[in-house]
């Protein structure tokens, strides 16, 4: 990603440095299998509850939290809510927050709380991040009177 594009994203506060994540063939709605694990698990035909070191993994993407609750419709996860020490991790980035809600119907994950996005040496912080896993469109907002802040490191070339 070019430095010009990175600076534009930072100045607008409407786009983040993002890489392919669990969108398209990798969304929780279909495609690759979903692996899950936790210290305690309960499942019904309409729900999945993971407590203690809860984790959902699909392809190279992962949601990890203290607790993950999933709603199941017609055998597919239709909504995932993660709370407590939430991490959304892809090969290119890590997003941390206090709470996350992923909705496969609109390919959107919303993280709230003290949100920190890192990609390589680049870091952005705010109170709420809305990220579309299919289009990679993102919006970071400040929270509780705070502002969105970021540090962007220029790409090094040739040396």
Domain count of the fold of the chain: 1
The answer to whether residue 158 is domain-embedded is no
pLDDT digits (tens, 9 = 90+) for 106-130: 889 999 999 999 989 999 999 999 9
Residue 131 domain flag: yes
- 31 lies in a domain? yes
% of the chain with per-residue pLDDT over 70? 79
In angstroms, the CA 62 to CA 91 distance is 10
25: helix, strand or coil: helix
* Residue 92 pLDDT level (bands cut at 50, 70, 90): confident
Query: Looking at the domain assignment, is residue 127 inside a domain?
Result: yes
Rounded CA gap, 135 and 102, in Å? Answer: 15
89 lies in some domain = yes
Q: Using the predicted structure, report yes or no on whether residue 25 has a pLDDT greater than 70.
A: no
User: What pLDDT, on a 0 to 100 scale, did the predictor assign at position 115?
Assistant: 95
Q: How far is 116 from 135, CA to CA, in rounded Å?
A: 20
Q: What's the domain range around 88?
A: 3-151
3-state secondary structure (DSSP) of residue 15 = coil
CATH number of the domain where residue 15 is located: 2.60.450.10
Tens of pLDDT, residues 56-75:
998 888 999 999 999 999 88
Query: Whole-angstrom Cα distance, residue 64 to residue 54?
Result: 6
Answer whether residue 135 is part of any domain.
yes
């Amino acid at each position: 990603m070019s430095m010009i594009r990175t600076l534009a994203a930072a100045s607008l506060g409407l786009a983040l440095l993002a890489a392919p994540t669990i969108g398209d063939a990798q969304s929780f709605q279909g495609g690759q299998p979903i692996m899950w694990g936790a210290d305690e698990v309960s499942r019904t035909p309409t729900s999945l509850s993971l407590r203690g070191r809860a984790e959902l993994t699909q392809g190279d993407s992962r949601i990890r939290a203290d607790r993950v609750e999933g709603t199941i419709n017609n055998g597919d996860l239709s909504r995932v809510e993660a709370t407590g020490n939430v991490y959304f991790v892809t090969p290119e980035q890590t997003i941390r927050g206090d709470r996350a809600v992923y909705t496969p119907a609109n390919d959107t994950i919303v993280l709230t709380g003290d949100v920190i996005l890192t990609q390589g040496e680049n870091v952005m912080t705010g109170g709420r991040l809305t990220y579309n896993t299919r289009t990679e469109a993102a919006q970071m907002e400040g929270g509780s009177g705070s502002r969105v802040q970021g540090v962007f490191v220029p790409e090094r070339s040739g040396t």
